[in-house]
């Protein structure tokens, strides 16, 4: 089921992107469409590379069903999962702030065209997520998590709490 639902998510987010790119933006919704575009890209990346690819990215030594990847593919999947799931979260926050500004504080598109508004609502969301994704990359912390995909996890699973030496992701 995760692969099927992942494809449904990719299809839904792709149709949102198609609609945004093909429709002429009205002056009143340009910023919301740009934020929704970023959110949809994050959803597509997460749905496809994490939920559709799933355990295929894990190395066979992980014991995961269908595992046919390598440590490198697992690391890439974990990095994409951390970064783009965060991108979706931060763009959701951005969309909520946008609606708060427009509804409660009566901001117009003109108010939203300032560099501060554009920076905080459009350009900032991917940056903290990327920042949070780098440390596990440096620490070899992206590994198979025991369920369906590679994410932040030590190897062997929970090695620190069991008093076993960690092979990868010691600080995770």
What is the 3 state secondary structure string of the chain? CHHHHHHHHHHHHHHHHHHHHHCCCCCCCHHHHHHHHHHHHHHHHHHHHHHHCHHHHCCHHHCCCCCCCCHHHHHHHHHHHHHHHHHHHHHHHHHHHHHHHHHCCCCCHHHHCCHHHHHHHHHCCHHHHHHHHHHHHHCCCEEECCCCCEEECCECCCHHHHCCCCCECCCC
What confidence score (pLDDT) does residue 26 get?
Answer: 76
* pLDDT tens per residue, range 43-63: 999 999 999 999 999 999 988
Q: Quick: pLDDT tens for 124-158.
A: 999 999 999 999 999 999 999 888 899 999 988 88
Give the pLDDT score at 2.
87
- Rounded percentage of the chain residues whose pLDDT exceeds 90: 77
């Amino acid at each position: 089921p995760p692969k099927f639902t992942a494809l449904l998510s990719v299809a839904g987010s792709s149709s949102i992107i198609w609609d945004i790119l093909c429709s002429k933006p009205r002056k009143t919704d340009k910023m919301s469409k740009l934020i929704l575009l970023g959110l949809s890209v994050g959803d597509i990346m997460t749905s496809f590379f994490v939920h559709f690819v799933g355990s295929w990215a894990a190395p066979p030594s992980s014991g995961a069903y269908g595992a046919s990847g390598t440590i490198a593919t697992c690391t890439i999947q974990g990095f994409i999962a951390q970064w783009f799931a965060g991108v979706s979260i931060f763009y959701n926050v951005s969309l909520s702030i946008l609606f708060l500004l427009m509804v409660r504080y009566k901001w117009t598109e003109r108010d939203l065209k300032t560099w501060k508004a554009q920076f905080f609502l459009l350009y900032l969301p991917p940056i903290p997520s990327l920042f949070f994704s780098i440390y596990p990359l440096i620490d070899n912390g992206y590994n198979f998590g025991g369920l369906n995909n590679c994410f932040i996890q030590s190897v062997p699973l929970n090695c620190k709490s069991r008093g076993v030496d960690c092979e990868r992701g010691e600080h995770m």
